[in-house]
Amino acid sequence: MEKILNDKVDEHSEDLLKSIRTIVNIPSIKKNAEPDAPFGSDIKNALVKTLQIAENLGFRTVNLDNHIGYAQYGDGEGYIGVLGHLDVVKEGEGWKFPPFSGHIENGKMYGRGVLDNKGPIISALYGLYAIKEADLKIKKPIRIIFGTDEESGFSDIPYYLKREKPPVMGFTPDCKYPVVYAERGRANIQFQVTYDKINYEKRAEEFFNFLNSYILSSKNTGDRLGINFSDKEFGTMEMRNYSIGKE
């Protein structure tokens, strides 16, 4: 079976690269909502184009009002979900090649979204295509879900779950190998400090500067916030790029 799938993947590798480049070419950065484009026209275009690619591969596709979409292979109760996303962060600076070019050099493709997460989710789509082309029997339908708001808060997921049942199991090709079975999250921690009326603004500024320096100079384990955590099975929690803001 492994050889059959590998042969199918090799057979369609050029089409896979072409499809990834096609989606990378779309600068799908979140912008203001437009009619029929809740996260901006570029993200909508990326979703529509991706679903077109899936349709051309022979999959049944569904577009949930341009919030999120999916391609499915197989029928029956329950499904296995493979969740990725088509939105990207801003391109930033320092690129060797244009960030939305999908330039290929020395066996590598360059572009915003190649790794996070257009390349992996399109690869998952072609992996499912290999299963389909090899006519392998599956016990549950498999659904490739194309998210569109991962970088800005996951508002596409509640929209999806209000209209579709959740998968019975699944994974997301949006981390590292080997399998990672816990994702990092976000924490908002509030401090409230009371000062005497005399020189309170100056003292508040001094305290803020001290606290921020104290936090930023710490290890990435959260020990200085009192939330250092380690687990024998899951490993050590890491905190990165955190600082204290003030209102």
- Write the Ramachandran bin of 118: left for phi over 0, alpha for psi from -120 to 50, otherwise beta: alpha
Q: Where are the alpha helices (DSSP H) in 68-175?
A: 118-133, 156-161
- d(CA 200, CA 188) in angstroms, rounded, equals 25
Sole residue written with tokens 């090899």:
134
Question: In the annotation, is 91 catalytic?
Answer: no
Choice among 42, 133, 149, 150 that is catalytic: 150
Terminal-to-terminal C-alpha distance of the chain: 59
Choice among 87, 133, 149, 156 that is catalytic: 87
Whether the CB-CB separation of 173 and 120 falls below 8 Å is answered with yes
- d(CA 132, CA 246) in angstroms, rounded, equals 54
Q: How many CB atoms lie within 10 A of CB 85?
A: 27
The two counts, helices (H) then strands (E), for the chain are 6, 9
Question: In the annotation, is 116 catalytic?
Answer: no
As annotated, the active-site residues are 87, 150
